Amino acid sequence: MVKILIAVVLFAHGIGHVLGPLQVFKVAAASPTWNGDSWLLTGVTGQTVSNVIGLVLWVGAMVGFVAASAVVMGWLPAAWWVPLAVVSSVVSLVAIALFPTAFPMTSTVGAVVVDVAVLVAVLGLKWTPSALAV
């Protein structure tokens, strides 16, 4: 049961990153006040390049967390766990740092909590999905 819960949290967190691309393409507006710019990138690279960087980060985090949830369930090789979990968390945190107003504050705080929890579990506690009972 714990394995399924962890996989669902990782999967949901991954899918949550789709809100970034949906806003960039003006399909949905999770944060109506955000116009797609980055506080750091837009002035240097322009809004188009800033949007592309955001898209790459959000899609990367989304794919990574969905794949990490599949590792937890045993559907992908266990050797992929650490790279997927760590890279996905770091990419998500970078996206949040560059685009802090892209999502509502509660979503942003929740995302940071999940990212940090994954990093602490994987790097600090050396947790692996194989530690869970089947």
Report the predicted TM-score, pTM, of the whole model to 2 decimal places.
Answer: 0.92
The 10s digit of each residue's pLDDT in 12-36 is 999 999 988 888 787 877 777 777 7
32-47 per-position pLDDT tens digit: 777 777 888 878 888 8
Q: Which residues of 23-49 are buried (b: 16+ CB within 10 A; e: fewer)?
A: bbeeeeeebeebebbbeebbeeeeeee
Over residues 48-64, mean pLDDT: 94
Asked if 67 and 84 touch (Cβ cutoff 8 Å), the reply is yes
17-21, 59-63, 66-70, 79-83: which range is least confident on average? 17-21
pLDDT at 133 over 70: no
Q: How far is 84 from 81, CA to CA, in rounded Å? A: 5
Q: How confident is the model at residue 114 (pLDDT cuts 50, 70, 90)?
A: very high
- Are the CB atoms for 129 and 70 separated by under 8 Å? no
| Mean pLDDT over each residue of the chain, to the nearest integer | 91
The pLDDT of residue 14? 97
Q: Which residue has 């107003």 as its token pair?
A: 101
